[in-house]
Amino acid sequence: MERMLVVVFDNEKKAYEGKSALHQLQYDGDIAVYAEAVVVKHADGSISVKEQDDFGPVGTLIGTSLGAVIGALGGPVGLAIGATTGLTLGGLADVDNLLVGEDFLLEVTKSLTPNKVALAAQIDETWTTPVDTRMEALGGIVFRRSLAQVRQDIEDQDIAAMKADHAQLKEEIKTANAERKAKLQKKVAELETKIEAKQAKAKESRKAFEARQESKKDVLKKNAKAAGRALKELANTPV
């Protein structure tokens, strides 16, 4: 199951140890990691992205659920971007990609207090024990939430509703007087522009989603190979 994972640590050293543990779990075949980042909560409440790993399109924070979550964790204070990341606040604070609930963000925010560090990752796991055991041993507080694939449904519903309004306005034009007809035609033109823009955005979202799915397949293939290597190494280890 694909999940958003956030583990809060007391310092950067522990967070990087947690990151190494996450990589080991992936190598062992317990999980697949699609994107990850180490973030720091500063005294003023802002968030800095200290390090991110790029696993292809899905691993680029901009335009991903992970990026949206990190941007949201910055809250009203905003997001302080690390000098080497090349990311922008606008790219991360993307509510369209925020596929977790506000309650999840609130829980994380309460734990991610100033001067603490978090390891945030978008992962796939079949059970929670491997991650929890490793992270808790390092003193990490684990938060996770299954990602809701609802954005496309919402966009389709919006477009359908706008088309229904468009059809109704077209019907009204047939019986309206000249003055009213001109106003209705203006509304129809405005609505058509909005529908076109909405459809274009939905198309871009679908293409981005398909690209991320392909990238995830590549990660899973690599993960399977890593698990195979681990089993072979184990078989060849002297007892």
Average pLDDT over every residue of 230-239: 52
CA distance 77 to 37: 20
* Length, in residues, of the chain: 239
Assigned domain for 238 exists: no
From the number of C-beta atoms within 10 Å of its C-beta (0-12, 13-18, 19+), residue 32 rates as buried
Residues 139 and 227 in one domain: no
Asked which of 16-30, 82-96, 146-160, 175-189 is least confident by mean pLDDT, the reply is 82-96
Average pLDDT over every residue of 13-32: 92
Residues 121 and 159 in one domain: no
> DSSP per residue over 135-198, as a string?
HHHTTPEEEEEEPP--HHHHHHHHHHHHHHHHHHHHHHHHH--HHHHHHHHHHHHHHHHHHHHH
CA distance 134 to 17: 10
Residues 79 and 183 in one domain: no
Report CA-CA distances (Å) from 62 to 9, 20, 54, 122. Answer: 24, 23, 11, 13
Residues 161 and 51 in one domain: no
Residues 207 and 100 in one domain: no
Which structural domain, as residue segments, surrounds residue 141?
2-146
Assigned domain for 239 exists: no
> Over pLDDT 90: what percentage of the chain?
33
Q: What pLDDT, on the 0 to 100 scale, is given for residue 136?
A: 95
Note whether 128 and 144 are within 8 A (CB): yes
CA distance 198 to 139: 45
Residues 159 and 142 in one domain: no
Mean pLDDT across the chain: 78
Residues 71 and 117 in one domain: yes
Residues 64 and 9 in one domain: yes
Q: What pLDDT, on the 0 to 100 scale, is given for residue 190?
A: 93
- Work out the number of other CB atoms within 10 angstroms of the CB of residue 190: 10
From the number of C-beta atoms within 10 Å of its C-beta (0-12, 13-18, 19+), residue 221 rates as exposed
Assigned domain for 134 exists: yes
Does the structure show a pLDDT above 60 at 96?
Answer: no
Residues 34 and 70 in one domain: yes
Tens digits of per-residue pLDDT, 160-196? 888 999 999 999 999 999 888 999 999 999 999 999 9
Asked which of 80-89, 168-177, 182-191, 197-206 is least confident by mean pLDDT, the reply is 80-89
Assigned domain for 215 exists: yes
CA distance 199 to 188: 16
Q: Which of 146, 165, 180 is the last residue of a domain?
A: 146
Assigned domain for 52 exists: yes
Name the 3-class secondary structure at 52.
Answer: strand
Note whether 4 and 145 are within 8 A (CB): yes
Does the structure show a pLDDT above 50 at 56?
Answer: no
Assigned domain for 88 exists: yes
Residues 116 and 65 in one domain: yes
Q: Which of 122, 146, 170 is the last residue of a domain?
A: 146
Q: Which of 79, 112, 146 is the last residue of a domain?
A: 146
- pTM score above 0.85: no
